[in-house]
Amino acid sequence: GNSVTQMEGPVTLSEEAFLTINCTYTATGYPSLFWYVQYPGEGLQLLLKATKADDKGSNKGFEATYRKETTSFHLEKGSVQVSDSAVYFCALYTSGTYKYIFGTGTRLKVLA
């Protein structure tokens, strides 16, 4: 079945450091890929998405490229801020399955 695997956290970085959170997936068909972010005490919010191979999603300085050959959708940011501290979820959706499949989440903590 479809699945998403994320790197385990927590990830602790200093402010302005470079961030990479790895995400790989297994899916039949051609899924759409998403990164969601969950701030403390809140629900998930869409951060970015990509719907086909080689698409790059970007938002708020975060980027992720849909790599079909490596079945990956790694999240990157060049310079993190304290306000980026949150849990980040990689997810996929394939039409006909009705389900969004989420990874286990990666907690990011950014220190001033």
Partner 1 sequence: NAGVMQNPRHLVRRRGQEARLRCSPMKGHSHVYWYRQLPEEGLKFMVYLQKENIIDESGMPKERFSAEFPKEGPSILRIQQVVRGDSAAYFCASSPLQARTDEKLFFGSGTQLSVL
Residues that bind partner 1 (CB under 8 A): 6, 30-32, 34, 36, 41-46, 49, 51, 89, 93-95, 98-105
Q: Given its phi and psi angles, is residue 93 left (phi above 0), alpha (psi -120 to 50 degrees) or beta?
A: beta
CB of 38 to partner 1, least distance (A): 8
CB of 104 to partner 1, least distance (A): 4
Cα-based distances in Å from 98 to 9, 66, 93, 101: 28, 21, 8, 10
Which CB, 19 or 44, lies closer to partner 1?
A: 44
**Residue 59 CB neighbour total at 10 angstroms:** 13
CB of 79 to partner 1, least distance (A): 26
With 0-12 / 13-18 / 19 or more C-beta atoms within 10 angstroms meaning exposed / middle / buried, residue 28 is exposed
Which CB, 17 or 85, lies closer to partner 1?
A: 85
CB of 58 to partner 1, least distance (A): 15
Query: Residue type for 72, please?
Result: S
Which CB, 34 or 62, lies closer to partner 1?
A: 34
